[in-house]
Amino acid sequence: SIFCGLSNTPFSSGIHVAKKIDKLGMRSSDTAQIFFEDVRVPSKNLIGEEGNGFTYQMLQFQEERLWAAATVLTLLDTVIQETIDYTRQRKVFDQSVLHNQAVHFRLAELATEVELLRSLLYRTVALYMEGKDVTKLASMAKLKAGRLAREVCDSCLQFWGGMGFTSEVLVSRAYRDTRLLSIGGGADEIMLSIICKYMGTLPSK
């Protein structure tokens, strides 16, 4: 069941929050272990029907995975643009880093990949708004978003050199924070299994 139980309420007795967990990224979002022991919640605080919590969770996965893909697009655009700005003004051997073909070609490739993800997302959202089952496409979008985020942030961080390894620039935070995309809301391997199931290539048990 899904319950709404907050601290400092009459029914919070039995809820114990363990110490905060230190994470690689997403540091502004607190994470901790929460233990429930003999917690009693009034029926008026029940959300939905009792015993259907797992079903509710499963039903929202399409939206969660589309949201995951959508939230990373602007960040990736920004990381690429800030990398362009930095490499344009950063001089090495009397020319900007951006002047090197390996750099501006790579940034063009990354920008193209981001646009492809955006197109997949828009198509999937349009079908979802029509009431279609987009489980396969949503899984593809989330899989691509997580992997592309790693690719973009890793490639761009490299062009920042030592500065990219500091906490003073956005690219280093993006490098840490977006790693969660391939884990939260269903790991890459789960997305691949779902896609294979819809393709009819997942081995039967």
CB 106 within 8 A of CB 87: no
DSSP tag of 182: G
Tokens of 104: 């501006």
- DSSP E strands in 37-97: the ranges are 46-47, 91-92, 95-96
CB 157 within 8 A of CB 164: yes
How many other CB atoms sit within 10 Å of the CB of residue 49? 11
- 64 is annotated as an active-site residue: yes
Tokens of 132: 């279609």
DSSP tag of 203: P
Nearest residue to 42 via CA among 70, 78, 67, 9: 9
Instruction: Exactly one of 49, 50, 63, 64 is catalytic; name it.
Output: 64
Q: Which residue has the tokens 């349009």?
A: 126
Which residues face 15 on adjacent strands?
Answer: 36
Cβ neighbours for 43, distance < 8 A, ≥ 6 positions apart: none
Residues with catalytic roles:
64
